[in-house]
């Protein structure tokens, strides 16, 4: 459950950087996503035509504060997005490092506290830091969005053990991997680890065939979820025969 919404698809898709609006629409359809993210800056540059396209796609819109570097900038952008898209949902980004686009944990928590108190449903883009996660929940967030790797890097899950610890620590809290996923196999891996969803943009938008890639990610995310829910076998240090010895024929 993502606040008041239980999606059938665990795939959240960004809307930036596609070759054309038509390719974007086709990719969203192929992905099966029910939630798309959009930057207020992107929407502002494209004007009303882009907004009308988004409305026609029959998905929930998750505006984001992409490109914001201060609390004031993020809060103001969120308030503008609420008016423009008529939603209390906001993906909160407060960038603190220019090279890695890592979020500023101090500004992120402060902005989350202000927005939650103002009635927003905040989807915070964060790292796998457990303390920051706890502070965001204390601020009023009901889910967390840890990065897999820096935005647009395609590195996948760079800190596997840190993410495993986060999943184990925040039992019952929806966790969505946001950023760094570059291949469907990486998305499946995250779902197999017990994460609740995958948000990505660049890996689809910049693919040679974005529509086909969107479908590939949808299949991988579904497969990873099914595998996790089915209960995967534990890793073993040694081999274990799948065929029992008892009952085998004896040859003399």
For the annotated catalytic residues, the residue numbers are 91
Torsion of CA 165, 170, 176, 177, to 10 degrees: -10
**Alpha-carbon distance 200 to 196, whole Å?**
14
Instruction: For residue 171, give the nearest of 190, 144, 191, 148 by alpha carbon.
Output: 144
Whether the Cβ atoms of residue 179 and residue 185 lie closer than 8 Å to each other: no
Helix (H), strand (E) at residue 210: helix 210-230
Q: Which residues are CB-neighbours of 128 under 8 A, at least 6 positions away?
A: 146, 147, 159, 162, 163, 165, 166
Nearest alpha-carbon partner for 91 in 53, 61, 56: 61
- CA dist., res. 195 & res. 179, Å (int): 14
Report the DSSP beta bridge partners of residue 198.
11, 177
The beta-strand segments (E) located in the chain are 11-14, 35-39, 60-64, 89-92, 121-126, 145-146, 176-178, 197-200
Q: Please state, in angstroms and rounded to a whole number, the distance separating the CA atoms of residues 110 and 87.
A: 21
């Amino acid at each position: 459950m993502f606040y008041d919404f239980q999606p059938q698809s665990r795939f959240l898709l960004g809307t930036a950087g596609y070759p054309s609006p038509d390719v974007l629409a086709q990719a969203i359809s192929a992905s099966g996503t029910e939630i798309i993210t959009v930057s207020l800056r992107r929407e502002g540059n494209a004007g009303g035509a882009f907004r009308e396209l988004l409305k026609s796609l029959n998905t929930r819109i998750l505006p984001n504060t992409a490109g914001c570097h201060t609390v004031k900038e993020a809060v103001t952008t969120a308030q503008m997005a609420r008016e423009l898209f008529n939603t209390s949902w906001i993906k909160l980004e407060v960038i603190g490092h220019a090279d890695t686009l890592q979020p500023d944990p101090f500004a992120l928590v402060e902005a989350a506290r202000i927005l939650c108190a103002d009635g927003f449903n905040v989807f915070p883009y964060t790292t796998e830091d457990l303390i920051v996660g706890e502070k965001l929940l204390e601020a009023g967030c009901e889910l967390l969005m840890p990065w897999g790797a820096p935005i647009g890097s395609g590195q996948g899950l760079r800190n596997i053990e840190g993410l495993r610890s986060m999943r184990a620590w925040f039992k019952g809290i929806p966790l969505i991997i946001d950023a760094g996923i570059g291949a469907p196999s990486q998305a499946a891996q995250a779902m197999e680890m017990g994460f609740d969803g995958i948000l990505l943009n660049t890996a689809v938008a910049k693919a040679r065939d974005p529509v086909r890639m969107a479908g590939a990610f949808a299949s991988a995310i579904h497969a990873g979820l099914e595998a996790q829910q089915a209960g995967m076998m534990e890793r073993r240090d040694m081999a274990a025969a799948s065929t029992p010895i008892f009952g085998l024929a004896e040859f003399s």
